[in-house]
Amino acid sequence: MKTNKTHTPDPAAKGFVKRAFFFDGFDGSEYILLPACTYDGNRFDALHKKYPPMFERNEVAVDMPLTICDIPRLCKDESGKIEVTTGELATPCIGIFDSKRRKAHFIFTAQGFEGKNFGLTYEVGKFTVSWPSARNRCYRGGPAYAGADEGAYIAETDKIEIPYQYLEFDCADIPCFLRLYLENRKVTGQKCSRPGGFDYNKVWRALEDAYNKFHYSDQYGLYTMAEKRENSTSGNSGAFGFWQAGWIGGGIASYPLLKLGTPKTAKRALACFDFLVSTQTPCGLFRSIMSGDGTFYGDGFELFGYKGLEDYHLLRKSADVLFFMYKHFAVMAEKRIAIKPKYIDSAKKLADYFVRLWDKYGQFGQLVSIETGDIIAGNSSSAVIAIAGLCESYQYFGDSNYLRVAEAAGEYYYHHALAKGYTTGGPGEILQSPDSESAIALLESYVCLYETAKDQKWLDYAETAAALCSTWVVSYNYEFPRQSMFHRLGIKTTGTVFANAANKHSAPGFCTLSGDSLYRLYQYTGNKLYLELIQDVASAIAQCMSTAEKPFYTSFGPPRIMPPGFINERVNMSDWEGADGIGEVFYGACWPEVSLMLTIAELRNILE
C-alpha cells in the first residue's frame, strides 16, 4: 500500500486537502466495507425509485438477483465510485478483504476537522480521505442526489491534519474479517463514553403513560404504531394512527406492556394480542396494515400510489409475530393468564406455514402473497427471524419439522448471506439493501438454534452474526454542530444503530429487538466484546427520550416540543436530509420507544 497527501493552497479559490491510499494488485474482487454504508461495495443490481421504493410485478421473481436502492455503490463491472462522508458511517474507516492474498486491511480516520466531516471516496485500488468532503454527487435519500460539495479556503500557512491508522492482518475469509473489525472498531481512541444516570423506573412510567395517551385508540381498543393526532373530531381521545403486524412494533410492543405494565395497560396489551390473532389469513399469515377507517392494506405501498400490488406481504412481519407469540405465552404463563386455545392454534398454523414455504422453495423470500403464501420476491434475508420462531415452535409443540426447517434455514442464510458479509431487506422500504434489522434477527436466530439444538456450529455462526451487527453500531461520540439540538442536549452517539444503508441516519436501538441475544452470546462464550456492544446499544436509547426536564423539539417545519415518552428515530450524523438536519429530528413518536421497552423488559440488569 502506498499513500500520499495533497492539498490546494491557493487562497483565492476553494479547495480540498486529500490523503490518498493506493493498493497494488486490486482487481475489483475485494470485499469493501464502509461500516453501515457499503457491504461488498454494494455491488448489486439497483433500481432508482422515489421514496418509498417498491418492486413492481415485472421486477420480482423467486430467484431474482439481489436488488437494492440506488445508493452509493460500485457497479458489478467494478466501475463506479463510492463517495460519502464520515457522518454516514458507524465508524470512520474502510475495511477491505483481499481474498486472493488472504489479507484484511483497515484504515481508520477521525470524524473530521474544525467542525466539518471528512469525505471518504473509494474506487478500485484507491481510497481517499478529504477535507472537507469532496463528493461529486451528494446522496440525499429518496434515493436522490444533489450537486458536488464545496471546498474550503485554504492558505499556505493552514495546518490541516488528516489522521489515520492502518492495520493489516492475515485473514482466511469474510467471517474472520468481520471479527477483526469487531475487535478493532474502537482502535482510534475516539471518545466513546456512554450516557448514564437514568432512573429506569421513571423512564418506563413515561413510556407507558405516553403509549396510553398517544398510542391507544378507544375506537378499536388497540395500541397503534403512530401516535394519535390531537385534532380528532371522531369523538375519541384522538384519531387512529395505524396498526400493523410485526416490524416496527405491532405484535411486539404488547409483549413488554403485558409484562411490565399496570393492570390496565396489561389488559389493553392482551386485547391487542387477541386482535392480532383475529387477523390471520387462511394460509397462516397476518394482515399487514390496518388504517384508521378499519381498512386492511398490503405492503405494496398502495397509499403511496403503487397499483396492483395489494397482495404483497412483507414476510418479516409475520416472522416477527411468530417469534414474539411465544414471548407473550411466557408472560401469560408467569401471570397465570389463560393461554386461549385459539392463540395456540394460531401459532401452530403460522409455524406450519413456514415449514410448507421452506419445503416448497428452500428459502423464505422477502415479499409473499397474503392470500396464497407463495413467494413474490425472493433472495433476501428479510424474514430470518422465522428461524428463531421455529425454534420456539419446536420447544413449545415438539414437532421435529420445526427444528428441521430452522436448521436448514440457518445453514442456507449463513452461506447465502452472512458468509458473504451482509444481510439484506429487513425493512419494507429499502428494496433489498443491506440492513442491521435482518442482521440482529439472524443473530437472535443462531443463538436460539444453539439453545435448542446444542450444536457448537450455531454458536460459531452467532459470533459471525454478532460481528456483522457491530458494523452497524456507532463506535464513538459524534461531535454535532454547535447550533444543533443534539449538541445542546449532549446526545452521545456511541451505541446508536444505523438501520440500513439506504436511510442515512443512526437510531436509538435495534429495530425491533432488545438485542439480548448479544448478552446471551456473551454468557455462552465469555467474550466481553459482546457485552460491551450490547451495553453500548442498551445504554444509548433513554437519552433520546423527550422528558419534561429535557424536552426534544423539532426544527423541521414549525418548532414543536415532543411530549414526554416520545423517541424519534433520527440520530442524524450525515447531511442526507440537508446540512440543517444534522443533530435534528422531525416531530413524532417512533419505533425506538418499543426498542426501549424491550430493553427494559429484557436487559434491565446491564443498564447503567
Q: Which domain holds residue 39?
A: 2-43+78-184
- Tally of domains within the chain: 1
In a domain, 561, yes or no: no
In a domain, 151, yes or no: yes
Alpha-carbon distance of 393 to 286, in angstroms, equals 17
Summarize pLDDT for 9-25 with one digit per residue, the tens: 554 568 999 999 999 99
DSSP 173-242: SHHHHHHHHHHHTTTT----PPP----HHHHHHHHHHHIIIIIEETTTTEE-SSPPBTT--SSSSSB---
**AA letter at 182:** L
In a domain, 179, yes or no: yes
Alpha-carbon distance of 305 to 458, in angstroms, equals 43
Q: SS in 3 state form for 13-44? A: CEECEEEEEECCCCCCCCEEEECCCEEHHHCC
- End-to-end Cα distance, the chain: 43
Give the 3-state secondary structure of residue 562. coil
- Mean pLDDT for each consecutive 10-residue tract of the chain (608 residues)? 61 82 95 98 96 97 98 93 98 98 98 96 97 96 91 88 96 98 93 96 98 93 78 40 89 97 98 97 97 93 95 98 98 98 98 98 98 98 98 98 99 98 97 98 98 98 99 98 96 98 97 98 98 98 97 87 96 96 94 98 92
Alpha-carbon distance of 451 to 464, in angstroms, equals 17
pLDDT score, position 234: 33
Would you say how long the chain is, in residues?
Answer: 608
Summarize pLDDT for 310-320 with one digit per residue, the tens: 999 999 999 99
Question: Do strands 216-217 and 165-170 pair parallel, antiparallel, or not at all (unpaired)?
Answer: unpaired
Provide the Cα torsion 500, 502, 506, 509; round to 10°: -30
**464 neighbors 179 (Cβ within 8 angstroms):** yes
In a domain, 168, yes or no: yes
Residue 397 CB contacts under 8 Å (≥ 6 apart), including other chains: 348, 351
In a domain, 117, yes or no: yes
In the DSSP assignment, the letter for residue 164 is -
pLDDT score, position 557: 76
pLDDT score, position 131: 97
In what order do the strands lie in the sheet containing 2-7?
Answer: 2-7, 17-22, 126-131, 119-123, 82-85
**260 neighbors 600 (Cβ within 8 angstroms):** yes
pLDDT score, position 226: 79
pLDDT score, position 60: 98
Query: Which CA distances in Å does 429 have to 46, 381, 424, 425, 503?
Result: 14, 14, 12, 8, 9
Summarize pLDDT for 70-103 with one digit per residue, the tens: 999 999 998 999 999 999 999 999 999 999 999 9
Q: SS in 3 state form for 499-536? A: CECCCCCEECCECCECCHHHHHHHHHHCCHHHHHHHHH
Backbone phi, psi, residue 365, to 5°: 75, -170
In a domain, 122, yes or no: yes
In a domain, 244, yes or no: no
Specify the pTM.
0.97
pLDDT score, position 233: 35
Cell numbers placing 176: 474472520
In a domain, 215, yes or no: no
